[in-house]
């Protein structure tokens, strides 16, 4: 037994500990699936089916169209789209054009989207028609040269796609471009762009990281292919034999790479839903005979409490997977009792594309916050937060990791990159420990990020929004435990004397929801006389937490 890797005692049988990976571009995996399984369903969405050949051709046309608009290798193309066939087509089209894709959460409001567009220097913005007003305002004073619009009503009969046309307008003297027209008028073939998978960036995925400042995580084609391959090998996923259900946001690394890109590499049937709905999700599992289900703790909590769960035939699901936040042991036990299958938990972060560890099956009673063992070709260690000295079993410190899936760095942030990648190890910003038998556990966050069902919320952003309200003179935001989301923001607010008794909790929550994605808005607001601070003026959040 390797003394530095005691977790090997739990290593799954027939899974390699080390392996080599294909050095290919992500879009080459789509081309490969289309070549081998042209008529297999790639995407199912609201009654619409796209084969792998159709998806490949459609993305070729998008690539050719983007090239015609002046997109060259390394340019950034931002996607401001909900889960939809268009997201997948434009994603792979942009990659084929040599562009770096910037996935933008469709829940984002103007300021949030504007920040990503400015920081990334995106040249093209592809937006949904229902989001176009926000998109046009957010694109002002950025490098965006063209806005491409699509929507529920697009129709592309030339390539047998059910994407529907919409009426368009253009801000100022620029015109919006219809995706439908762009594809119909473009060439069939994608441009010939040479990609170096190990060096060329595929995605800029924005995250608060450990500092609370949104940063673009540079994930190369190789980073993403590696993480897909690790997953395929660990769980023996079958080429052209899996059906995946994705309701998780494709703008988030979990839905984007761990789910979608893995499915494309497998030539899987991918059932896309715009959002999670208990009834619709269970109906989809039963109808499509889904084999792999991706979830987050709030979803498993909801399913476990759903009184009609046993009415549905879920027998096709071989793998139930949970990530983005710790799954409560009681929820895990309840779900296994209802379905007969244990949930596999994975831990990671955007900077690791995203998976670093998984919980092996058959280890007996699961303790709270278990995140399992490192995946293939991956090392995880625990170090002292200050000295960086490696710690022993059961000692709590910062979890650090290294492996071929770890990011290239942060976009245009060399100092933050240097801080995050020390001596080849990625600082995760999470506190944890390794037990004597080699199992890793999550404890807390080094910083004050709030994890709302897998989405990161940094307190300063919410605080700054509250401080723009005329009644608020000071504010502090912390995480509060929530049975559904795991954590939600809770705000402490000091109001001006002339507003005392005149502004309500509901008003401030609604104010935040108008300016931030709804998951960032505080769920509770507590009015206080003062915010506890250090002599230097830093907020003492531990006192607000009761610590």
Burial call 409-421: b when 16+ CB within 10 Å, e when fewer: bbbebeebbeebb
Return the pLDDT at 525.
97
Q: How confident is the model at residue 534 (pLDDT cuts 50, 70, 90)?
A: low
Length of the chain as a residue count: 547
Q: How confident is the model at residue 464 (pLDDT cuts 50, 70, 90)?
A: confident
Domain ranges of the chain: 26-194, 207-445, 450-544
CA distance 122 to 116: 8
Q: What is the average pLDDT across 231-238?
A: 96
Q: Among 27-36, 147-156, 295-304, 372-381, name the one with the lowest average pLDDT.
A: 147-156
Q: Is the pLDDT score of 395 beyond 80?
A: yes
Q: Is the pLDDT score of 10 beyond 50?
A: yes
Pick the CATH number of 450-544 from 2.40.50.140, 3.30.70.560, 3.30.300.30, 3.40.50.150: 3.30.300.30
In the 8-state DSSP scheme, what is residue 539? B
Q: How far apart, in Å, do the first and last CA atoms of the chain sit?
A: 41
Tens digit of each residue's pLDDT (9 = 90 or more) over 83-104: 999 999 999 999 999 999 999 9
Tens digit of each residue's pLDDT (9 = 90 or more) over 479-505: 999 988 999 999 999 999 999 999 999
Return the pLDDT at 365.
67
Q: What is the average pLDDT across 220-232?
A: 98
CA distance 179 to 164: 9
Query: Percentage of the chain with pLDDT > 70?
Result: 92
Return the pLDDT at 183.
83
Beta pairing class for 177-178 and 201-207: unpaired
Q: How confident is the model at residue 5 (pLDDT cuts 50, 70, 90)?
A: confident
Report phi then psi at 331, rounded to 5.
-70, -40
Under CATH, what is the fold of the domain 207-445?
Answer: Rossmann fold (3.40.50)
Residue pair 527/543 in contact (Cβ under 8 Å)? The answer is no
Q: How confident is the model at residue 254 (pLDDT cuts 50, 70, 90)?
A: very high
Return the pLDDT at 24.
98
- The candidate with the shortest Cα–Cα distance to 257, out of 429, 139, 95, 390, is 95
Higher pLDDT, 499 or 537: 499
Residue-wise DSSP of 189-217: SPP-----TTTSEEEEEEE-TTTSS-EEE
Q: What is the average pLDDT across 384-390?
A: 90
Higher pLDDT, 181 or 85: 85
Return the pLDDT at 211.
47
Q: How confident is the model at residue 185 (pLDDT cuts 50, 70, 90)?
A: confident
Residue pair 45/84 in contact (Cβ under 8 Å)? The answer is yes
Return the pLDDT at 173.
38
| Three-state secondary-structure class, residue 318 | coil
- The candidate with the shortest Cα–Cα distance to 475, out of 462, 493, 488, is 493
Return the pLDDT at 313.
97
Return the pLDDT at 364.
63
CA distance 147 to 127: 7
Q: Report which listed range, 165-179, 223-237, 352-366, is most confident.
A: 223-237
Return the pLDDT at 156.
43
Tens digit of each residue's pLDDT (9 = 90 or more) over 149-178: 998 876 443 333 434 333 333 334 356 888
Higher pLDDT, 164 or 547: 547
Q: Which helix (H) or strand (E) holds 127?
A: strand 124-128
Neighbours of 317 (CB within 10 A): 19
Higher pLDDT, 399 or 363: 399
Q: Is the pLDDT score of 506 beyond 90?
A: yes
Tens digit of each residue's pLDDT (9 = 90 or more) over 109-124: 999 999 999 999 999 9
What is the token pair recorded at 316?
Answer: 């096709």
Return the pLDDT at 212.
53
Assess whether the region 207-445 and the region 450-544 belong to the same CATH fold. Answer: no
Tens digit of each residue's pLDDT (9 = 90 or more) over 257-271: 999 999 999 999 999
Higher pLDDT, 424 or 187: 424
**What CATH number should be reported for the domain whose range is 26-194?**
3.40.50.980
Return the pLDDT at 3.
65
Tens digit of each residue's pLDDT (9 = 90 or more) over 193-208: 999 999 999 999 998 6
Return the pLDDT at 538.
64
Return the pLDDT at 494.
94
The dihedral of CA 296, 266, 411, 382: what is its sign? positive
In the 8-state DSSP scheme, what is residue 410? E
Return the pLDDT at 74.
98
Return the pLDDT at 172.
42
Q: Is the pLDDT score of 470 beyond 90?
A: yes
């Amino acid at each position: 037994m390797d003394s530095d890797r005691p977790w090997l005692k739990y290593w799954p049988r027939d899974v390699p500990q080390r392996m080599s990976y294909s050095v290919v571009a992500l879009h080459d995996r789509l081309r490969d699936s289309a070549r081998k399984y042209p008529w297999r369903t790639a995407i199912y969405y609201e009654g619409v089916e796209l084969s792998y050949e159709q998806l490949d051709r459609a993305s070729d046309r998008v690539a050719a169209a983007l090239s015609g608009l002046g997109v060259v290798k390394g340019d950034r193309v931002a996607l401001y789209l909900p889960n939809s066939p268009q997201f997948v087509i434009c994603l792979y089209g942009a990659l084929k054009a040599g562009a770096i894709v910037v996935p933008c959460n469709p829940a984002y409001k103007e300021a949030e989207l504007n920040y990503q567009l400015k920081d990334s220097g995106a040249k093209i913005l592809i937006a949904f028609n229902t989001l176009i007003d926000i998109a046009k305002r957010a694109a002002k004073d950025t490098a965006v040269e063209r806005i491409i619009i699509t929507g529920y009503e697009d129709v592309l009969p030339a390539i047998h796609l059910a994407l529907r046309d919409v009426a368009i307008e253009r801000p100022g003297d620029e015109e919006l471009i219809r995706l439908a027209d762009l594809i119909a008028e473009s060439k069939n073939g994608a441009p010939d762009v040479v990609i170096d998978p190990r060096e060329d960036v595929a995605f800029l995925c924005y995250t608060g990281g450990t500092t609370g400042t949104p940063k673009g995580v540079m994930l190369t084609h190789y980073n993403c292919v590696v993480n897909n391959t690790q997953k395929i090998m660990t769980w023996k996923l079958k080429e052209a034999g899996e059906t995946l259900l994705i309701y998780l946001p494709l703008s988030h690394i979990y839905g984007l790479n761990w789910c979608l890109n893995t499915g494309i590499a497998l030539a899987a049937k991918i059932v896309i839903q715009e959002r999670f709905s208990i009834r619709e999700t269970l109906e989809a599992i039963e109808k499509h005979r889904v084999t792999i289900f991706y979830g987050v703790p709030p979803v498993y909590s909801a399913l476990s409490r759903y009184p009609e769960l046993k009415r549905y035939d879920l027998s096709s699901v071989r793998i139930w997977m949970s990530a983005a936040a710790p799954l409560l042991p009681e929820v895990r036990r309840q779900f296994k009792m209802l379905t007969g299958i244990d949930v596999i938990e994975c831990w990671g972060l955007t900077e690791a594309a995203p998976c670093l560890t998984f919980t092996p099956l058959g280890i007996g009673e699961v303790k709270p916050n278990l995140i399992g063992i490192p995946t293939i070709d991956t090392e995880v260690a625990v170090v002292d937060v200050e000295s960086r000295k490696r710690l022993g079993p059961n000692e709590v410190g910062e979890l650090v990791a290294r492996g071929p899936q770890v990011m290239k760095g942060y976009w245009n942030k060399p100092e933050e990159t240097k801080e995050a990648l020390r001596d080849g190890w990625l600082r995760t910003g999470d506190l944890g420990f390794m037990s004597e038998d080699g199992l890793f556990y999550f404890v807390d966050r080094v910083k004050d990020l709030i994890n709302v069902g897998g989405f990161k919320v940094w307190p300063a952003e919410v605080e700054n929004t509250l401080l723009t309200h005329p009644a608020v003179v000071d504010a502090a935001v912390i995480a509060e435990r929530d049975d559904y989301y795991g954590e939600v923001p809770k705000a402490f607010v000091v109001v001006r004397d002339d507003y005392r008794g005149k502004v309500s909790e509901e008003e401030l929550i609604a104010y935040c929801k108008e300016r931030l994605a709804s998951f960032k808005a505080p769920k509770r607001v507590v009015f206080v006389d003062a915010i506890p601070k250090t002599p230097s003026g830093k907020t003492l959040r531990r006192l607000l937490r009761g610590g």
